[in-house]
Amino acid sequence: MSAAVLLLALVVPGLQTLTDEVFQIPAKEWRYVALTVKEVPARVDCNFHVMSGAGAVRVALVNADGLDDWKHGNRNAAGAPAPQGRFSRTVSVPDEYAVIIENSGRGDASVRLRVTLDSSGRGQPQARYLSPERRLAVIAISATVFFAIVSYSAKKLLGAMRQ
């Protein structure tokens, strides 16, 4: 069964595991995993779990500007610290991104982080168009209803003007 899942993961286009490793993060420190998104839209999936040490960490996805802000001390990431969690974000702009792990606790933390990038478009809404026959039907029905309302209104107005 696991061989079939592995084979399916290799065959699925656009699905990449960027990292699946354990990070050692000292107290009041942070680490990041850089990723480059070239094909959009792309979905970034992130799973994390504190294996030992500090009770909770905060994980966030930021673009290149956000990473620069973090490096300069402006750490305004959304979300509360948690011992484990997951999130999925759809990225629509090609850019350099980073998944940041922040240990704001008092002790060191050992955190398993798994980040995948899916640029296959699965799960994304697909634009669909009506067939030419249905387009013509919609136009014909709309025009008929419009002219029926205009005719009815004109008849009532002319009747009211004659009285």
What region, left, alpha or beta, does residue 109 occupy, with left being phi > 0 and alpha being psi -120 to 50 degrees?
A: beta
Average the pLDDT over each of 14-18, 129-133, 138-142, 159-163 and give the range with the smallest value. Answer: 14-18
Tens-digit pLDDT profile for residues 81-122? 888 889 888 888 888 999 999 888 788 889 999 999 888 766
Mean pLDDT, rounded, of the chain: 83
Residue 2 is predicted with a pLDDT of 47
**pLDDT higher than 80, residue 7:** no
Give pLDDT tens digits for 111-134: 999 999 888 766 556 667 888 999
Give the pTM: 0.63
Span 33-47, pLDDT tens digits: 998 888 878 888 999
157 pLDDT band, cuts 50/70/90, is: very high
